Amino acid sequence: MSDRYTVFGNPIEHSKSPMIHRHFAAQTNQALVYDKTLTPVDGFSQALAEFFNQGGRGCNITVPFKEQAWQLADQLSDAARKAGAVNTLTRLENGQLQGDNTDGVGLVQDLIANLRLNLAGKKILLLGAGGAVRGVIGPILAQSPASLLVANRTVEKANQLAKIFAEDGNITACGYPQLAGQQFDLVINGTAASLQGELPPLPDDLLANGAACYDMMYSTSDTAFQIWAKSHGAVIAADGLGMLIEQAAQAFYIWRNCRPVTGKLFLEMR
């Protein structure tokens, strides 16, 4: 009998996770079933309990349930604890639920392994201060950048993140107007606005010579942020498809203790 996994979310129809994990399972000869579960906004804890009571081995969690999953986990990895959000749950032998957050690992893996970017010693700007951003700060700081600046419309939210991660590296916060006169080697968009064609107010001279830009969102065509990046001289203007695949690979590794190869899948999905 195959082990069962799922992804919980609302909406969930768009999710590519089942396809990705089925690919990983076939590649590594793992016997598992992975599907997606549309979950009522007020019914996540009940759906989660039912899934594991019926023998589920693990699950991914997407919007809007990552913070609830964090609260329901019996144990938390360091990454999940600081992120305040869980996107991967594993049922342990004792029945407890282990909560992880693989978003940051997925982002850094895509930047370093796939895009061949070196983050050490670089000036990095992170746009936004929501859950997606919070989940990636720790892994970025672990790469020893010269500095990480979190910019957000509501400065208080950015300041809160800077305080939470202050012991992990050189991290500061500001509002968008304070970006004037500053330049960065890497700019990461952690807001979802660019999928709707919207952008934060970014100065035209934000990018240092040879700078790269990365949108954590992904789309079948260039996002508004990618378009902005290309028109302002970015040498790389990538979207988050690689991050999606790499965070899934990390979750698969947590569950199955084997790491799938991701490169061919990225090309197929692209």
Q: Binding site membership for shikimate: which residues?
A: 15-17, 62, 87, 103, 218, 247
Among 126, 61, 72, which residue's Cα sits nearest to residue 98?
Answer: 72
CA 237, CA 224: separation in Å to the nearest integer? 11
Annotated binding site: 15-17, 62, 78, 87, 103, 128-132, 152-157, 216, 218, 240, 247
Instruction: Please confirm, yes or no, whether 82 is among the known catalytic residues.
Output: no
* Amino acid occupying residue 232: H
Ramachandran angles phi, psi of 125, nearest 5°: -115, 130
Which residues, including other chains, have CB under 8 Å from residue 184's CB and lie 6 or more apart? 123, 124, 125, 149, 206, 207, 208, 211
Say which of 36, 66, 82, 122 is annotated catalytic. 66
Cite the active site residues.
66
